Structure 1
Amino acid sequence: MVPMTRNLLFRPQTLTFSVWNLKFSTRQSAIPLTGIKRPSLKRQDFTQEYQIQRMTSDHSASLHEKALAALARLRSGDQPRNPSERTPDRSSTSNTADRLEKALNEAGFQSWGFPIYRCTYRSDSDWAEFLRRYRWHVADSLKHVNGLDLLESFKITVFENQALFEAMGNNCYSGVSPDMLVFANVEAARYRFCLFIDEESLQSVLQAPLEDCFNKNAFVNMLNGWWKVESLNDHDPEDLEDDELEAIRLELNSHDPIEGYTVKDVGWMKVALCGAGLEGFSKMGEHGEWDRYYERPSEICHYL
């Protein structure tokens, strides 16, 4: 178990929880986003068949059989490189459970899953049903990759404080201290991102059919704990022409205000329910994925 002490520091319109005394491996965590694509073998068929015919020119029955077997394997497709123990017909890099397990081991973590902030308190039964459905979707995703063994290390950590979180709503910003994570060359989704559930997102999940994972209306809110608002101070005037600075100034004010922010990235986005579990956690552990998948509210990110 990773030693950890978490302190909650509450500030006006800002929720910060810092992670201290973490011990990490110094090895780089890398979770490939996609499986290995194998090139088509059609162009190689003629060459391989010609070579096999040369091998069988002595009419040796045993050699001929071996050559035909080799050609059959060639035409049926390659066997996966480093096959997954969970799904032997696929490589381990194309199995999300394998990639997640590898990343957890390399980073020294023993649990996974986004922390959840409860920001609605109208109904305890609705909240319990939301958590049940969320866990069901995570388990269903693991089942498809034969990874139900990882359900034991999946932790739903819920933060509840009606007086604070309900009043703050979407302003329930969470800042996770990145210091130790950066030092360890690891960006861990569990300590960088969290989910916050308001009444709108709660009802969107409850109103969707349970087994409809790809329902476009069911979503949760994902928050980037390392976010800070972009400003002109992030750009060096000496490196830019006047017209370039003006273009940046216009870009920073080109969107309708969300909680007073007119920049594109306001630090949180709506994520489809199916993207807030196994796949989303695996992807968001990689550097730069927030920028890649970010959708400004009220759009919903359906691609995690």
Structure 2
Amino acid sequence: MLFRHSIFSHISAVLPQRCLPRSSPTSVRKITSKAQDQQTRSMLDDYKNIDAFLSDKFSKKRGLSWGFSIYRCSYKDESAWSRLLQHLREKIESDLECNQRMDLLSHHQLVINDDIEKLNGATSHDIRDHFSAWVTDQLPQIVASPKVLENLQSDDNNGQGPQYFLGPRYNFCLFVDDFCLESLELFKNSLCGPVVKILSRPWGNLTPREREYKIHPEWHDGETDDELEMVEWMYIPIHSYVQWFDTLEVPSNWEAFYVRPPMMIDECSVVNVEEERLASLHRKS
């Protein structure tokens, strides 16, 4: 198992660009003077890393889309799944509008994986298997040339795989289980809002025997009671989808931002989603 340095001691240093006040689309439209407009733009996310992902013509073909793959692992509530996807799409559009980057919307494509036979009740390890296989199949279709693919395959990037430097679309994916679907209702009035799970493909797949561990009762995954144990997936607020894609264009940012579930980064703070869930249930009772 892997462990890392605590994020709590350096989160303010890691996330300065995310700590700026967010402007609403309405307030942005009201700005008329050039000076005010420049000041407002300095407080917005420019998403230049997404630009870099889309403009990479050396390793990838032109015209590729940006956006994560998302896997459905719970089939108990069809309506909740539909509402979660709708909520996600709305948050993506509102984020881009807020940050004056609506030009990115037409290039976005969410890869939806919805197969009850293969995915019902799937664990993070199962999802990593499916995602890794999909990425392997995609490689010949997305690289700029056979020579590029040959060069990528000749260097496994310290075990991270040839796709390590092809961007977040091919290294990280989202998955949705019962907890995420329930968060639509339970977290609708909380600051973080509904959540999804995100996992890292480069972490690698565990063997069937390695997957047979007992999850520590105080955590949502992992064997120990150590907050620094890495289980290589996290919760993220749905509203931060675009931010995360932009951030993970730099693969090493995964380790810099990682917190063990049920902890979650939301803007400049770290919240406990299990405590949020219990508090919401208490308010409802």
Give the TM-score, by structure 2 length. Answer: 0.57
Equivalent residue for 2:71?
117
Using the alignment, how far apart are the partners of 1:293 and 1:128 within structure 2?
A: 29
Equivalent residue for 2:168?
189
Using the alignment, how far apart are the partners of 1:118 and 1:139 within structure 2?
A: 21
Report how far residue 286 of structure 1 moved.
0.5
2:53 aligned with 1:103: yes
Aligned residues of 2:235 and 2:264 also touching (Cα < 8 A)? yes
Equivalent residue for 2:202?
226
Alignment partner of 1:199 out of 178, 183, 191: 178
Using the alignment, how far apart are the partners of 1:98 and 1:92 within structure 2?
A: 13
Q: How many residue pairs were aligned?
A: 197
Report how far residue 261 of structure 1 moved.
4.2
Q: What amino acid maps onto 1:151 in structure 2?
A: L
Report how far residue 273 of structure 1 moved.
1.8
Using the alignment, how far apart are the partners of 1:95 and 1:260 within structure 2?
A: 33
Alignment partner of 2:94 out of 132, 140, 143: 140
Alignment partner of 1:292 out of 256, 265, 269: 256
Using the alignment, how far apart are the partners of 1:142 and 1:303 within structure 2?
A: 16
Task: Give the match's secondary structure for 1:172.
Answer: helix
Deviations 1:91-143 (A, max 9, x none): 79964244422332125462111100001112222211110100111111101
Higher-Rg structure is 1
Query: What value does the CA root-mean-square deviation take over the aligned residues?
Result: 3.7
Report how far residue 281 of structure 1 moved.
0.4
Aligned residues of 2:49 and 2:249 also touching (Cα < 8 A)? no
Equivalent residue for 1:65?
none
Using the alignment, how far apart are the partners of 1:193 and 1:100 within structure 2?
A: 14
Using the alignment, how far apart are the partners of 1:229 and 1:110 within structure 2?
A: 27
Structure 2 CA distance for partners of 1:99 and 1:223, relative to 1, 3 Å: closer
Equivalent residue for 2:274?
none
Identity of aligned residues (%): 23
In the TM superposition, 1:51-130 aligns within 5 A as 89=39, 95-106=45-56, 108=60, 110-130=64-84
The gaps in structure 2 that reach 5 residues or longer are: 1-14, 18-33, 140-151, 207-214, 269-285
Using the alignment, how far apart are the partners of 2:199 and 2:256 within structure 1?
A: 15
Deviations 1:30-61 (A, max 9, x none): xxx877xxxxxxxxxxxxxxxxxxxxxxxxxx
In the TM superposition, 1:13-52 aligns within 5 A as none
Q: What amino acid maps onto 1:129 in structure 2?
A: R
**Higher relative CO (CA 8 A, sep ≥ 6), structure 1 or 2?**
2
Deviations 1:115-173 (A, max 9, x none): 00001112222211110100111111101111112111111111122133223244433
Structure 2 CA distance for partners of 1:110 and 1:139, relative to 1, 3 Å: same
Report how far residue 186 of structure 1 moved.
2.5
Report how far residue 274 of structure 1 moved.
1.9
